[in-house]
């Protein structure tokens, strides 16, 4: 039998933080997991206490954006135990990014070890069940080395840090929590570029559209397709969902991040509620014909889109009870409050 890595006196004790009041902010936790790749081998450094990343000044991640990250949540179940949600999907998306950015893949076993150890070492920071907060995990992938040429790094760092978080959009989900979004004329990603992977550069390009939208009083920017500026892409850091009549529709695009939450919501809609689902282009002109709109993601979970504005044009969407049904089913599975017919929940055990 394998020896446990951590020994807990109980699995419910937490640090003295009011988890129900948290926003989506960084709260330093004591430990982070780190591994380094060099000479063709990933070597585990293990759990470290230093929250500062030390990398050479010539590192590709600093100059040329050879960098990726992931975003995941671990929830505490009613039994006090930690549950991740589809972590292998995050590992696979990170590795799709690694291939595109010409770096080595992170073995899935190493990725899982990183999220397990980072969770277990910081277990008192895992918010209590029912607090509405979760432990956010941030796996990072950095190309490092002494370099100045424009070429992929020969060394890489894989780190997982954690932070307890509350809702990404203040207020989270609810029939009184409709959010408004402003259509951006700037693009976050290029066609056939890096929009579908979690490369940091995509987020740097989103700062100006996001800031413009917030300065105008909106929750975030909504992006259009970067070719014709005619079709809906995604919202801030969340994918777009809508109901057209009975059908749950969502954009088909090569330049949006393929949200793990979105594929899960689509599967829930089809398998549990037996609603038709369609992934297809959604033109801005079609917004008039949509019955309801929302956006979803790990950080955002599911958020009701109450209005979309484009200059003088404005579209309003009522709260739809189907968002509530989807939200309950999704978060029920994530927080272990309901059965998981899909096998998505991943219990983190020692
Ligand atoms: N779109 C963008 C740009 C994101 O950053 C995220 C968050 O990861 C999402 C969508 C939602 O993806 P997921 O559901 O996998 O978290
Ligand atoms: C997530 O939903 O996990 C994200 O990564 C979005 C954002 C915080 C960048």
The ligand 2 atom at the shortest distance from the C-alpha of residue 259 is 2
Residues 191-213: what's their mean pLDDT?
A: 98
Determine the Cα–Cα distance for residues 282 and 251; give it in Å rounded to an integer.
Answer: 6
Nearest CA to ligand 1 atom 12: 259
For residue range 224-279, list pLDDT tens digits in order.
Answer: 999 999 999 999 999 999 999 999 999 999 999 999 999 999 999 999 999 999 99
Determine the Cα–Cα distance for residues 323 and 174; give it in Å rounded to an integer.
Answer: 9
Predicted local confidence at residue 349, as pLDDT? 92
For residue range 161-193, list pLDDT tens digits in order.
Answer: 999 999 999 898 999 999 999 999 999 999 999
- Please report which ligand is nearest the Cα atom of 260: 1
Cβ neighbour number for residue 96 with a 10 Å cutoff? 16
Q: What percent of the chain has pLDDT over 70?
A: 100
Give domain 19-166's CATH number out of 3.30.70.3270, 3.30.470.10, 3.30.310.50, 3.20.20.70. 3.30.470.10
Q: Is the pLDDT of residue 336 over 80?
A: yes
Q: Is the pLDDT of residue 116 over 90?
A: yes
pTM of the model: 0.97
Non-local CB neighbours of 92 within 8 Å, separated by 6+ positions: 108
Per residue, the 3-state secondary structure of 298-334, as one string, reads CCCEEEEEEEEEECCEEEECCCCHHHHHHHHHHHHHH
What are the boundaries of each domain within the chain? 19-166, 179-334
Pocket of ligand 1 (CB under 6 A): 71, 234, 237-239, 257, 259-262, 297-298
Predicted local confidence at residue 11, as pLDDT? 82
The ligand 1 atom at the shortest distance from the C-alpha of residue 206 is 3
Q: Is the pLDDT of residue 296 over 90?
A: yes
Average of per-residue pLDDT values in the chain: 97
CA 170 to ligand 2 center in whole angstroms: 15
Q: Which CATH superfamily is domain 179-334 in?
A: D-amino Acid Aminotransferase, subunit A, domain 2 (3.20.10.10)
């Amino acid at each position: 039998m394998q020896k446990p890595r951590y020994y807990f006196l109980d699995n419910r004790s937490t640090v003295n933080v009011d988890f129900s009041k948290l926003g989506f902010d960084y709260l330093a936790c004591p430990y982070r997991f780190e591994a380094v790749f060099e000479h063709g081998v990933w070597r585990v450094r293990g759990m470290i206490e230093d929250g500062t990343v030390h990398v050479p000044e010539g590192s590709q991640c600093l100059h040329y954006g050879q960098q990726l990250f992931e975003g995941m949540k671990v929830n505490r179940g009613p039994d006090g135990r930690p549950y991740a949600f589809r972590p292998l999907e995050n590992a696979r998306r990170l590795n799709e990014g690694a291939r595109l950015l010409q770096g080595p893949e992170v073995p899935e076993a190493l990725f899982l070890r990183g999220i397990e150890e980072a969770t277990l070492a910081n277990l008192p920071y895992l918010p209590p069940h029912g607090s509405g907060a979760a432990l956010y995990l941030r796996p990072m992938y950095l190309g490092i080395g002494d370099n100045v040429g424009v070429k992929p790094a020969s060394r890489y760092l894989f780190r997982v840090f954690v932070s307890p978080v509350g809702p990404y959009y203040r207020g989270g989900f609810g029939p009184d929590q409709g959010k408004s979004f402003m259509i951006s004329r700037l693009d976050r990603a290029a066609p056939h570029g890096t929009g579908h992977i979690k490369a940091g550069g995509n987020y740097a390009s989103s700062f100006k559209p996001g800031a413009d939208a917030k300065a105008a009083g909106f929750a975030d920017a909504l992006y259009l397709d970067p070719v014709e500026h005619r079709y809906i892409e995604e919202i801030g850091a969340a994918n777009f969902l809508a109901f057209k009549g009975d059908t749950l529709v969502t954009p088909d695009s090569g330049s949006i991040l393929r949200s793990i939450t979105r594929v899960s919501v689509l599967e829930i809609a089809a398998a549990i509620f037996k609603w038709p689902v369609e992934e297809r282009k959604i033109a801005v002109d079609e917004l008039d014909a949509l019955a309801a709109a929302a956006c979803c993601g790990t950080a955002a979970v599911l958020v009701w889109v109450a209005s979309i504005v484009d200059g003088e044009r404005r579209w309003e969407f009522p709260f739809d009870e189907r968002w509530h049904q989807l939200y309950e089913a999704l978060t029920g599975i994530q927080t272990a409050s309901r059965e998981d017919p899909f096998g998505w929940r991943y219990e983190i055990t020692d």
